[in-house]
Amino acid sequence: AAVGSALKGFARRLELPRSCFAQASAANSLLLKSFGRNETRGLQFRANFQVSSFRNFGNVPVAPSGLHRFPVGAKVSRAQVAINGSAAALGLRGVTSKRTKRTWYGARVSDDPTAPSIIRARPTTPSLRHTAIMDKTYLFRGRPVKALTFGLRKKGGRNNTGRITVWHRGGGNKRKYRLIDWRRANVHSQGIRYCVVERVEYDPNRSALIALLRHCKADATEEEKAKAALSYIICPRGIAIGSELQASRSQRVDILPGFAMPLRHIPTGTLVHCVELYPGYGAQLARAAGTSIQLLETDETTGYALLRLQSKEQRYVPIDCMATIGKVSNPEHKNESWGKAGRSRWYGWRPTVRGSAMNPIDHPMGGGEGKSKGGHHPTTPWGRKTKGLRTVRKRGPLIRLPRFKAKK
């Protein structure tokens, strides 16, 4: 009982991730019963430690699962152990263990760089009370590759004649545009194109994250890696840093997140993203954060594949169009809240003035004594109706089910 209570306190003091489970041996079954098996779930030593020796804790033999395979003095970076004694009893040096990271309000924090969590700050100020932004802890924090970027010039919503074509734009922080590889493989290329995921980065120009690829095999030498080309792609959800990705326009590759091939080689029902509308034009569909497209059918006779888009619209696309397996990263982007007007200005959005708050010379809905409704249908500044007017485009021959019908 004394040993069990001591181990119970030790287990509670541990801060370990939830990704793995503690494996208890038969020798520890009695100890586990004393403080419950639920408290040992998700326990794992993550930091680097050194195995000095295996000892006994009282009359109970210590048999840490996984550590017996390493010789004494070996440095181990990750090993699952049974919680059957203290770190000293296990012979571990410099163990810094962590539990699943949680926010101050108890929510779990994702350690997957392709699916970061949305973090809320403590409401110490009025703006922080409503702020919920992406956690960038596991993203690359350095500068982007210089050869793959160029500076963006501010337009302030104006076109080439200087007239405002997009309202409420202007200002904002400076940005560098990241050149994205939308094709993944050249149109007339043969064979498989191999690449390795170097890192996952934040891109201020889009809602999705981007991944830096080094075009070589995972087992390439250091000299080959140094000479290999680099490129950015839309980061798929679920890829790991250091993993190998494949892309081919001429043959089938594995059905794994981040692998790219024509629609003719992809099984029916697979979720894809970054889909081309025309072969060789580059990806145009499902590029935003968390989006995906489902492949419904492929027809070799007609040469078209049927897709269900994110808007539930069903349309045909040539089967030679490239598509990437999986969903787009950053699925929690829809839950972000900037929290204050100043953050909107950082992103380049200017304030929006309601038409009913303007003068009659400025807007059809302006004027009136006090707060008036205007007495007519809501319109744009040029008199076009804004509520109830049908704006759907004409149904094309490649659209099987329009989105306004699919959502009914």
**Cα gap 267→251, rounded to integer Å:** 14
How high is the pLDDT of residue 99? Answer: 59
Distance of CA 275 to the CA centre of its chain: 18
How high is the pLDDT of residue 189? Answer: 87
Element (H, E) at 11: helix 2-13
Nearest Cα neighbor of 90 from 78, 81, 77 is 81
Pairing of strands 275-276, 271-273: unpaired
Nearest Cα neighbor of 305 from 270, 253, 260 is 270
**Cα gap 401→395, rounded to integer Å:** 9
**Cα gap 362→382, rounded to integer Å:** 10
**Cα gap 185→283, rounded to integer Å:** 11
Q: Token digits for 204? A: 């201020």
How high is the pLDDT of residue 194? Answer: 95
How high is the pLDDT of residue 408? Answer: 64
Digitized pLDDT (tens) for each residue of the chain, 408 residues in all:
454 454 444 444 443 333 333 333 433 443 344 444 444 333 333 333 333 333 333 333 333 434 443 444 444 443 333 333 333 333 433 444 455 788 888 888 999 999 999 999 899 999 999 999 999 999 999 999 999 999 999 999 999 999 999 999 999 999 999 999 999 998 888 999 999 999 999 999 999 999 999 999 999 999 999 999 999 999 999 999 999 999 999 999 999 999 999 999 999 999 999 999 999 999 999 999 999 999 999 999 999 999 999 999 999 999 999 999 999 999 999 999 999 999 999 999 999 999 999 999 999 999 988 888 777 889 999 999 988 888 777 888 999 999 888 876
How high is the pLDDT of residue 257? Answer: 96
**Cα gap 24→40, rounded to integer Å:** 9
Q: What helix, strand, coil percent values describe the chain, rounded to 5?
A: 15, 25, 60
How high is the pLDDT of residue 168? Answer: 96
